[in-house]
């Protein structure tokens, strides 16, 4: 399912929405990193590009022109993820999960850490920084992770 064209297009579209809706530079950077990694992992490029994969080219064609323009500079960027603290799985209402966003973030990231498939693990691990910052994006992959 995480290898389907529909999933790829929906995920990249959601990351693009998050990038555009970001109210601070850190959120925008996290969305950029996730888009960079997802495009790299799936080979999302124009058809005929050296790094393109068949499914990546198909996904590229389905993305809006506006979203392609956002992604294009990321195809050559070198964002790196610094190792940060892993959030423990928390109980809603505890000191570190007082809000829905704090609880959802913790729960979603703990689920990502339990994923079995290599591709799914790579894709969702790349999205963890943005999952921590945007509740809407954090809810989006639930149907694939759960």
> Per-domain residue ranges for the chain?
5-76, 100-145
Smallest CA-to-CA distance from 56 within 75, 32, 39, 33 is with 39
Per-residue model confidence (pLDDT) at position 95 = 75
Q: What is the pLDDT of residue 139?
A: 60
List Cβ neighbours of 27 (8 Å cut-off, separation of 6 or more).
18, 130, 133, 134
CB neighbour list of residue 106: distance below 8 Å, 6 or more residues apart:
87, 88, 89, 90, 96, 97
pLDDT at 113: 78
Helix (H) or strand (E) holding 18: helix 5-21
Instruction: State how far the Cα of 7 lies from the Cα of 144, in Å rounded to an integer.
Output: 9
Show the low-confidence residues of the chain (pLDDT under 50).
Answer: 143, 146
List CB contacts of 22: < 8 A, sequence separation 6 or more: 28, 31, 134
The structure tokens 């992959």 sit at 141
Confidence (pLDDT) at 88: 56
Give the pLDDT confidence score for residue 115 in this predicted structure: 78
pTM exceeds 0.85 for this model: no
């Amino acid at each position: 399912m995480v290898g389907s064209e529909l999933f790829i297009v929906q995920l990249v579209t959601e990351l693009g929405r998050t990038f555009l809706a970001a109210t601070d530079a850190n959120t925008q950077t996290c969305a950029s990193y996730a888009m960079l990694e997802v495009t790299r992992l799936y080979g999302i490029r124009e058809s005929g590009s050296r790094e393109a994969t068949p499914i990546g080219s198909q996904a590229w064609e389905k993305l809006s022109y506006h979203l392609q323009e956002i992604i294009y500079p990321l195809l050559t960027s070198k964002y790196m993820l610094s190792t940060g603290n892993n959030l423990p799985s928390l109980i809603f209402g505890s000191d570190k999960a007082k809000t829905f966003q704090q609880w959802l973030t913790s729960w979603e990231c703990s689920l990502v850490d339990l994923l079995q498939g290599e591709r799914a693990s790579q894709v969702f691990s790349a999205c963890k920084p943005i999952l921590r910052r945007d509740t809407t994006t954090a809810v989006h992959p639930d149907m694939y992770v759960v």
